[in-house]
Amino acid sequence: MPSPRSGATLEPMLSVALAASGFGGISVLAKLAYEAGSEPMSLLSTRLVVASVLLAPALLATARPHLRPEVLGRAGAGGAAFAGAGFLEFEGLARLPAPTLVVLLFLAPVWVAIGSRIVLGRRLGWRSGVMLALVLVGVALLAGLPDEGGLDPLGVAMGVGASQLYAAVFVLLERLVRGTGPIAAIGLVAAAAALVAVAVEPSGVATELAGPPTAWYAVAVGASTAGTLVLLAGGMRTASAFTASLVTAVEPLTAAVLSWALLGEVLTVAQMAGGAAVVCGVLGVSRA
């Protein structure tokens, strides 16, 4: 794993790791919400609205000096990417076991690395090529063979698409945090994401909060999102987008343990091998 940027310490990395554990838990909470009657899009809208409301006081106290057009544009792009990634993630969770979906989300560092190659001209090298091949093999094992009860191809595609959008969020958030501070950055991104989600699903919040048990799950998912976003942004004060996305390797482990304990979801041996290959391949790309 590459070293964080100059000035990074163990504390920011711990903050990102705790955020990753939180995101893994949110995936399992979302699955429990589906069992209680929630729908993916309405749950996502409520998640983002609750998170943005909880972050609003801190945002109002810190954001005013930073409300420049370039900051608002970057925050708007980050919010749109976060909302889109959340939509694909929540729809994917309705089709896949939580541990599988979360491993697919962990592909985000791969896209950051490839983006660096395309945009910045950084060479990946043959070792990175080997590791990327290992990632592809891992994804294939996770998806399984269709004639042997393999996973929903659309769900797999949604997980991969969500990972690409989350990679964009990492990159945009890195720039925002360094320009505005963590609280203002994450508050602006959450507010923009909430506006996008409500525009797409205007009645989603009212549907989810109409009564228990969906209301309790929706509020829990939203509150957890606010806390994990603060932890993530705090860690990215000194950690680069690539390093922070790598530390989120904690997320698949958290999701696997909670899914087994709360949902009874257990992957096959081949799928567990595929998940391990994905995680090892992503970490290998960082070392290469």
pLDDT in tens, 144-187: 644 455 678 899 899 999 999 998 998 888 888 888 888 889 99
Amino acid at site 135:
V
* Cα four-point dihedral sign 79, 83, 86, 88: negative
Residue 91: the pLDDT is 96
Q: Mean pLDDT, to the nearest integer, of 216-240? A: 89
Domain residue ranges in the chain:
10-287
pLDDT in tens, 72-112: 999 999 999 999 999 999 999 999 888 888 888 878 877 87
- The answer on pLDDT for 261 being more than 50 is yes
Q: Which tokens in the block code for residue 188?
A: 């602006």
- The answer on pLDDT for 45 being more than 90 is yes
- Which of 168, 177, 74, 160 lies closest to 112 in space, CA to CA? 168
- Cα–Cα distance between 195 and 198 in angstroms, integer? 5
3-state secondary structure 238-288: CCCHHHHHHHCCHHHHHHHHHHHHHHCCCCCHHHHHHHHHHHHHHHHHHHC
How many other CB atoms are there within 10 angstroms of residue 206's CB atom? 11
- The answer on pLDDT for 8 being more than 50 is no
pTM of the model as a whole: 0.84
